[in-house]
Amino acid sequence: MSKIAFLDIDGTIRAFDGTVPESAIKAIHQARKNGHQVCISSGRPLDQIEKRIIDIGFDGIISGTGSYVVYEGKCIRHEYFPKALFLEMVDTFLKNQCVMDFQSYNRTCVLECQKDAFIKLGEDLQAMLGEGAAALAEPPDTEKCAENLDKVEKIIYFSDDFPLEEVRRRWGHGIYAVPVSFPNPRKWGGELSPITVNKGEGIKSILKLSGHKVEDVVAVGDSDNDIEMIAMAGLGIAMGNGTSGVKAVADAVTDTVENDGLYKAFQMAGMI
């Protein structure tokens, strides 16, 4: 039986400075030519996945950490926050001076009152990552108030005073919360989704249609939002630049993204 691979983007296909190793593109093309399927599995919302990444060629896309899933060109899963929970969280974050980013498959925005603070965050992050991340400091799309937003799939928050553990204490029964999956210029930050959302659940939705079994799954990632998919995969591979959490649940650890880690992961899996 052919395998089906699920790949994180940032830190796996793409380095955080924006570089996509040629070896990663070669691995994806060769694996598909060999009869295997390859899918994106990203924390990014669909509208923030770069065209140059999608144009590499994939059989499916798990976006928003599993909130919006496309397989063979069709949306097969869409999960988002209940409106009451979303508004409660936003109100609490505003009272605690947290900066927020709201994500859905077709739009990413911030509140008008936080535009300047969000741009400053982007500038700080760009300073950490270099000129390849210049787009992070561009003015974001804005919305006047949270009540105007519907079907929000993900909240990213940043704070120097409101730790992720407090977020989990307040809403852990209704949300999936992990640290931000990219360098964080603030003391704390988190990626927050509905409790039903993670990359492992996104994979399960594709397996129902693809004909593959869990043992056919190869998952490759580097951050804590990859833990569920790495743990459930027949072969879960952590990147060499991955977090200690994702390495702890992986079956194997490959090299870093810059040192052909994805290509070497596909070799481990026997896909190329």
**pLDDT digits over 115-174, tens only?**
999 999 988 888 887 766 556 657 789 999 999 999 999 999 999 999 999 999 999 999
The count of other CB atoms within 10 Å of the CB of residue 114 is: 19
pLDDT at 132: 60
52 burial level (CB within 10 Å; 0-12, 13-18, 19+): exposed
pLDDT at 108: 94
Place of tokens 């599993």: 66
pLDDT at 105: 96
For 47, half-sphere exposure in the C-beta direction (CA atoms, 13 angstrom radius) is: 11
Element (H, E) at 50: none
Q: What's the CA gap between 11 and 262, in Å, rounded?
A: 10
pLDDT at 169: 97
Q: What's the CA gap between 66 and 77, in Å, rounded?
A: 8
Q: What's the CA gap between 232 and 57, in Å, rounded?
A: 24
Per-residue pLDDT tens for 50-82? 999 999 999 999 999 999 999 999 999 999 999
Per-residue pLDDT tens for 221-244? 999 999 999 999 999 999 999 999
Q: Under the phi-then-psi rule, with left for phi > 0, alpha for psi from -120 to 50, and beta for the rest, what region is 65?
A: left
Alpha helices for the chain (secondary structure H): 22-33, 51-54, 83-95, 115-129, 164-171, 199-210, 227-232, 244-249, 261-268
pLDDT at 136: 60
pLDDT above 60 for 45: yes
Per-residue pLDDT tens for 162-214? 999 999 999 999 999 999 888 888 999 999 999 999 999 999 999 999 999 99
Place of tokens 């911030």: 110
pLDDT at 9: 97
Alpha helices for 21-163 (secondary structure H): 22-33, 51-54, 83-95, 115-129
Residue 236 CA, distance from chain mean position: 16
Cα angle value 22/28/32 (rounded, 5°): 145
Contacts 24+ apart (CB under 8 A), 127-135: 127/185, 128/183, 128/185, 129/16, 129/17, 129/183, 130/17, 132/17, 132/18, 132/19, 133/16, 133/17, 133/18
